[in-house]
Amino acid sequence: MVVLVYSRFFPHNCTVENARFTKRRFLLSAINRLIAVLRMHTEGTAHPVDEVKHMSNRDDMMNNWSQQNRRYVPAALFFVLLIYWVAIFSVNIPYLDEWATVVPLMDNDSPTLSELWKQHNEHRIFFPKLLILANIHLSHWDVRWQMMCSLMLAGMTFLVIAAHIRKYEKQRGQPLPPFLWCITPLLIFSFAQYENWLWGFCVSWQMAELAVVLGFSFLVKWRDTLSGKDFLLALLCGIVATFSMGQGLVYWPVGALLLLAVPQHHWKHFAVWCLVFLAVIIAYFADYTEPEHHINVHGVTDLHGLRYILQYPHEYLLFVLTFIGNAVTFPVIGGAILAGILGGYVFIMNIRRYRDKQLQFFFLLAIYGLLSAFMIGIGRTELHFVTATSSRYISLGVLFWVALLVITADKRTWYRGAVAIGICASVGYLVGILWSAELHQRRAAAQQHILMRYPSALDADMEKIVCCPYGENMQDLLSVLARKKLSLFRE
């Protein structure tokens, strides 16, 4: 019977190599066909051959599906690990900017629009405040839910980028190096970004990045289809990005580069883009006040922002290089500077490929990451370029490196560079876990101390542990949480 089935469905001139079957797939296919023939004869069906062909097609479809989705296994693993680490290290207690921004917002039962629009440092975080208010009503402000929102937003960001990588593979007619599907989720879900994952307030960073990535995706789709819907969605994404974090302003000039690259030169769309950008700037800087500055590293109190970087341009350059390189060499400062130099050099050498429509989405991501480094450096270089190694900045640098890995995927030396990045990023991942464990212990101890001692006097160290910007008013801020049974006082 086996010989009969083999001779009927596998002609002699059809070898295993020609049919592109591995030995395992050949044996499984032969067994499936044998079972199908026996079942058809047993049931008395008139057309066993058709059923066998149907099963063969189904097997091929399943094999193709498994091959296409096998690349997502590393991403799923890193994402599950990220959820696991956050579940272990997260503590339901306000931290840093949450004391100064969110707790005063809770003092009113119904915050006004002006309070939601109120400036936070250099940013207007209107949309993150809406999400935080929803969390207050749904969970009595359990900040761990905001951490989980950050994870979900990061997961969606990865899916958008992965969809464009697969689209690029189809357009070029051959797959990219498989290692790319390992290193991309390693960078995006790295625990070197422990501040982004363990600080609920950083949901604003993930919200802005998802809006930027989605906006570029809609813009590229509009370039191919000229659909007004996609163009409108790209504009809306830019508005969400801008009013989630200040670096969202960079989205508009980067998007304009794509509009100028469209062969048909759609000046009407470009004009609309510029007008919306102008309206966003006017709204952003209406009633804008210069944030309180820290004393800069040179001890000069009246030297800030542009004036500082014009006087110390070398520090500004070091900040930008460290900012970019820190995404792959965290927390080694010297390695970050070197990686920033190498990454910038490789990007400049490949900039001429921007005209390739298949790569324009990734160029937009890389340029956005670079310009974000330059923009943030204007306000933070004065604190010392070492501040560029902050864990929360890594997510912006990751966009640059992921895009650069895709752009240079056809280079002969790609694997050597990718393996080096993977090794460095793995070290940063482990360091992030160790530092997160220490941060968890301090926060958990602070939470327990507050719950045991409140409303009596608290130790002065509590202000430092939770980084309360208004330490002298910490008792008043805690009274707001206790009165409304929020955060660590929730039932």
- The domain locations on the chain are 2-70, 90-436
246-260: b (≥16 Cβ within 10 Å) or e: bbbbbbbebbeebbe
Runs of H (alpha helix) within 173-264 = 180-188, 194-198, 203-225, 228-242, 251-261
420-443: b (≥16 Cβ within 10 Å) or e: ebbebbebbbebbbebbeebbeeb
- Position 455 scores a pLDDT of 73
Residues 2, 38: Cα–Cα separation, whole Å = 11
> Residue 135 has which token pair?
């969390």
Residues 474, 457: Cα–Cα separation, whole Å = 10
- Position 458 scores a pLDDT of 64
Residues 122, 119: Cα–Cα separation, whole Å = 7
| Residue count of the chain | 491
- Position 17 scores a pLDDT of 41
- Position 489 scores a pLDDT of 83
Beta-bridge mates of residue 177: none
Report whether 186 contacts 74 (CB < 8 A).
yes
Q: What is the pLDDT of residues 325-366, one digit of tens each?
A: 999 999 888 999 999 999 999 999 999 988 888 999 999 999
Residue with tokens 């507050």: 450
- Position 287 scores a pLDDT of 84
- Position 28 scores a pLDDT of 54
Residue with tokens 């063969």: 56
- Position 14 scores a pLDDT of 44
- Position 249 scores a pLDDT of 95
> Which residue ranges in the chain fall short of pLDDT 70?
1-68, 107-109, 263-265, 292-304, 457-472, 491
- Picking from 255, 227, 229, 225, the residue whose alpha carbon sits closest to that of residue 241 is 255
CA-atom Rg of the chain in angstroms: 27
Residues 125, 142: Cα–Cα separation, whole Å = 19
Cα 4-7-12 angle, rounded to 5 deg: 160
